[in-house]
Amino acid sequence: MTDQHLPPTSRRPGFATQQVHAGVPGAGADGSAVAGGPQAGGVNPRATPIHLSAGFVFDDFEQARDRFAGTDDGFTYTRIGNPTTSALEGRIAALEGGRGAILVGSGQAAVSTAVLALLAAGDHLVSATSIYEGSRGLFLDNFGRLGIETSFVADANDAAEWDAAVRPSTKAFFVESIPNPKNDIVDIALVAEVAHRHGIALIVDNTFATPYLERPLEHGADLVVHSASKFLAGHGTVLGGVVVTGDGFDWAVTDARGARFPHLTSPVAALGGSSYVERFGRDALAVYARDVVVSRFGPTPSPLNAFLIQQGIETLSLRVSRQSESALAVARWLERHPLVESVDYAGLESSPYRALAARYLPRGQGSVFAFTLRGGAEAARTFFDSVGLFTRMTHLGDVRSLIIHPASTTHAQRTPEQRAAAGIGDGLLRLSIGVEDVDDLLDDLEQAFGAVLAGEAGRAVAAAADAHRASGTEADAPGASGTDAPRASDTALFAGAA
């Protein structure tokens, strides 16, 4: 943390302090003032200025040459680096506990950058099955066509499955810390142990958790990626992605076939015949990712987007703690509702992931989770069409609460069998809880339940729920002993439909 406004202290500042102070607003990569930057002309703004400039002026011939040679680390061109973007990168790296960060144009670009920095044609990636559909398609279709093969592990918390999937060509494992949409928390230390035993790097998508809830690098991850479009930006206005690099992985690792990452250990003409590892050590991958992958493929974010993401990050802990608290309240309420078959939220006493959540997510289990309605597709459709306060949208981590029906949208490209295996049934709905008052959210959900009961599917659903209630399983459900009183209308609503 390098903010000149912080008092010197031997203690590492807390998360909320770092989210508003880490990184130097608008300074050059070396901390010096840049042209048009904060100190230019005696102007010293407290907020990071937005440097909307394609390139940066060279003082003279020598400076231009040195910046291209990398011996002067000032800015040259925004595709390679920009002061606004750089300030945000410093802040995110500090929050994740990483060595550095690279901002790109979207979460998809972040996943692409991480994979392209590590793997080449002929290499193999192993991924958890329970991941965002866009990442799954990227691995199967896009990287598959480039000769990078991916296989999938059904139970991400089974070390034997990861072990069995490893081939001599396996270079990376990929998981999400809180997977989308089932909230089936991953034991990152377990996956990292298998990866490192084989000289494999672990990439963790930390979008749903954010560094406020979990810092994967501290549990053994080597790279962290984010869709910054979600909680980091937080207001549903901007797309962005970030790759954060840790410092634990030895990029010079070898096996019986030689160097496992030859692009980082072979001589490079542009480095005067040195390799990335020789020149940059533990930062070899980070430098390669920025200078070779990002600067050539070009997933450059606008500095305006970097500014907006930084604005979002300054309230990250406040939003995420409230959203997690509200999500737990909503999940508990849903779990006790007679029309709900199941709720997938790791914070619930009934969740099989509760122990992992206690270990990895003690501050909260995030605000995105799924629940399954009795009545299948028809009930889900009526419910979806009946919400008012919740927004029907394919997004998450927004200040506003959102709802989506994965089986007909985000996961429509999976076969019914694949969806069934992933626990994504026709009655499943995903919620992303915002910062609204919880009572207002519950009122909205309650009136949507009312619409389900009043609709076509209502009678059958009510009968099924009645039978379930009569069987007594509801009273036995661990969540039923929660402190939230059932809403007065739970039973009234139900009785009215019977």
| CA R_g for the chain | 24
In whole angstroms, the minimum distance from the beta carbon of 397 to ligand PLP comes to 8
Q: Is 214 in the site for ligand PLP (CB under 6 A)?
A: no
Q: Output 136 or 171, the one with its CB closest to ligand PLP.
A: 136
Span interacting with ligand PLP, options 42-50, 100-108, 121-129, 136-144, rule CB under 6 A: 100-108
Q: Is 216 in the site for ligand PLP (CB under 6 A)?
A: no
Q: Is 482 in the site for ligand PLP (CB under 6 A)?
A: no
Closest CA to 367 of 180, 131, 228, 92: 180
Pairing of β 428-432 and β 368-373: antiparallel
Q: Output 25 or 301, the one with its CB closest to ligand PLP.
A: 301
Q: What is the three-class DSSP state of 340? A: strand
Span interacting with ligand PLP, options 41-49, 127-135, 420-428, 450-458, rule CB under 6 A: 127-135
Do 225 and 246 form a contact (C-beta atoms < 8 A)?
Answer: no
Q: Output 374 or 419, the one with its CB closest to ligand PLP.
A: 419
Pairing of β 340-344 and β 428-432: unpaired
Q: Is 300 in the site for ligand PLP (CB under 6 A)?
A: no
Q: Output 60 or 141, the one with its CB closest to ligand PLP.
A: 141
Neighbours of 12 (CB within 10 A): 11
Tabulate helix, strand, coil % of the chain (nearest 5): 45, 15, 45
Span interacting with ligand PLP, options 129-137, 288-296, 325-333, 476-484, rule CB under 6 A: 129-137
Residues 147, 121: Cα–Cα separation, whole Å: 4
Q: Is 241 in the site for ligand PLP (CB under 6 A)?
A: yes
Q: Output 24 or 138, the one with its CB closest to ligand PLP.
A: 138
In whole angstroms, the minimum distance from the beta carbon of 106 to ligand PLP comes to 3
Q: Nearest to ligand PLP by Cβ — which residue?
A: 107
Q: Output 270 or 304, the one with its CB closest to ligand PLP.
A: 304
Residues 76, 287: Cα–Cα separation, whole Å: 16
Beta-bridge partners for 158 = none
Q: What is the three-class DSSP state of 372? A: strand
Closest CA to 399 of 478, 493, 485, 326: 326
* Both tokens assigned to 292: 């070779």
Residues 192, 458: Cα–Cα separation, whole Å: 47
Q: Is 229 in the site for ligand PLP (CB under 6 A)?
A: yes
Q: Output 400 or 469, the one with its CB closest to ligand PLP.
A: 400
Neighbours of 233 (CB within 10 A): 24
28, 49, 107, 216: residue in contact with ligand PLP (rule CB under 6 A): 107
Do 284 and 251 form a contact (C-beta atoms < 8 A)?
Answer: yes
Q: Output 27 or 407, the one with its CB closest to ligand PLP.
A: 407
Q: Is 239 in the site for ligand PLP (CB under 6 A)?
A: yes
Q: Is 398 in the site for ligand PLP (CB under 6 A)?
A: no
* Both tokens assigned to 110: 């972040």
Span interacting with ligand PLP, options 94-102, 132-140, 323-331, 345-353, rule CB under 6 A: 132-140
Q: Output 36 or 134, the one with its CB closest to ligand PLP.
A: 134
Q: Output 229 or 372, the one with its CB closest to ligand PLP.
A: 229
Residues 152, 135: Cα–Cα separation, whole Å: 12
Do 153 and 194 form a contact (C-beta atoms < 8 A)?
Answer: no
In whole angstroms, the minimum distance from the beta carbon of 339 to ligand PLP comes to 27
Do 366 and 213 form a contact (C-beta atoms < 8 A)?
Answer: yes
Q: Is 283 in the site for ligand PLP (CB under 6 A)?
A: no
Name the amino acid, one letter, at 117.
A
Peptide bond into 181 cis (omega under 30): yes
Q: Is 462 in the site for ligand PLP (CB under 6 A)?
A: no
Q: Output 85 or 275, the one with its CB closest to ligand PLP.
A: 85
DSSP state of 24: -
Site for ligand PLP in 164-193 (CB under 6 A): 176, 180
DSSP state of 435: S
Q: Is 366 in the site for ligand PLP (CB under 6 A)?
A: no
* Both tokens assigned to 200: 């494999």
What phi, psi does 61 have (nearest 5°)? -55, -50
Span interacting with ligand PLP, options 105-113, 262-270, 293-301, 428-436, rule CB under 6 A: 105-113
Q: How many residues bind ligand PLP (CB under 6 A)?
A: 14
Q: Output 87 or 204, the one with its CB closest to ligand PLP.
A: 204
Q: Is 245 in the site for ligand PLP (CB under 6 A)?
A: no
User: What does each C-alpha distance from 90 to 30, 46, 245 come to in angstroms?
Assistant: 12, 16, 12
Give the largest CA-CA distance in the chain.
84
Task: Identify the residue whose tokens are 């500090």.
Answer: 94
Q: Is 205 in the site for ligand PLP (CB under 6 A)?
A: yes
13, 36, 97, 134: residue in contact with ligand PLP (rule CB under 6 A): 134
> Per-residue x/- marks for ligand PLP, 58-97, CB under 6 A?
----------------------------------------
Q: Give the footprint of ligand PLP on this chain (CB under 6 A).
A: 106-108, 132, 134-135, 176, 180, 205, 207, 227, 229, 239, 241
